[in-house]
Amino acid sequence: MNNKLAIGFTLASAFALVQPALADTLAKVKESGSITMGIRESSYPLSYLDDKQQPIGYHIEICNRIVDAVKAELKLPALKVQHQAVTSQNRIPLVTNGTVDLECGSTTNNEARQKQVAFAPTTFVTNVRMAVKKASGITSLSQLGGKPIATTTGTTSVKLMRQHEKGQNVDFKEVYGKDHADSFLMLETDRAVAFVMDDNLLAGLIVTSKNPAEYAIVGEVLNIEPIAIMIRKDDPAFKKLVDNTVVGLMKSGEIDKLYAKWFMSPIPPKGANMNFPMSDKLKELIKTPSDAPAEAYNK
């Protein structure tokens, strides 16, 4: 065997050894003594930072319940929990490469992503729309021609705008924020006339802004999107544990209590209340849990 072949064989062997480890999250967690949650810093009220820069939110609480289930399954009550900030751009790579074990943010479950990762049963359903300043008078995609439109890098918003019948002939001028807070800041400082994103995230950013009364969520629904906790693909043992935990929260009514806490009550850090009632679609999914992708809702 020549040196090149030997090196190639060694690399292939190493890769083969790494892959099963990544595909067995419970074994990885047991060996390391820690589990890593991927968190968002401004995805109100699913996953965001409080005034002490600690991750809180609806999906953070659900992920904490999953971590408790992992502790019980592995008999590791002292399991260390790490938090890794993720963005729309890097969240999938950080899950697939083993850096993040549970992505507890605001990720849409769709067919393209299901080729790379797996999802827990849907725990939130959102409509993609746009936030504007009321004074702009903007109420439709058709009014956005030639104007700067903010969206967050790594999201599907621009594609959805172009696909919609009222957006197909509109010349959008996209400006990109590095995260949702950055995108909203563009709207706030008039560098954009609209911010296109999930309506719950828009509502959270508005209610926690300096002047909530200045803004409105308007326009056509661009997509109905199931939002779920993301995990590695082809890991049946871990997915079963995650699914059982989420379904258990649904059957016990705990998920309804968590929803009321984060969407219908004052939340940190400002004590603002989003007053965002649970959608009929999410009510259906709590009765009949599913990890179906967005395409199933937008036929």
Per-residue pLDDT of the chain (299 residues; tens, 9 = 90+): 444 334 343 433 433 344 445 679 999 999 999 999 999 999 999 999 999 999 999 999 999 999 999 999 999 999 999 999 999 999 999 999 999 999 999 999 999 999 999 999 999 999 999 999 999 999 999 999 999 999 999 887 778 888 887 888 888 899 999 999 999 999 999 999 999 999 999 999 999 999 999 999 999 999 899 999 999 999 999 999 999 999 999 999 999 999 999 999 999 998 999 999 999 999 999 999 999 999 998 87
Domain ranges of the chain: 3-123+228-297, 126-225
Rounded CA-CA distance 205/185 in Å is: 10
| Cα–Cα distance, 101 to 119 (Å, whole number) | 12
Q: Both tokens of residue 195?
A: 């911010």
What tokens does 224 get? Answer: 């109905």
3-state secondary structure of 115: coil
CATH number of 3-123+228-297: 3.40.190.10
Rounded Cα–Cα distance for residues 247 and 14 (Å): 37
CA dihedral angle for residue 217, residue 219, residue 223, residue 224, rounded to 10 degrees = 50
Residue 212 vs residues 88, 150, 152: alpha-carbon distances, Å:
25, 18, 20
Distance CA 143, CA 158 (A): 15
**Residue entry with tokens 């600690």:** 54
Superfamily covering domain 126-225: Periplasmic binding protein-like II (3.40.190.10)
pTM: 0.83
Residue 124 identity? F
Domains 3-123+228-297 and 126-225 alike in fold: yes
Residues in a beta bridge with 82: 36
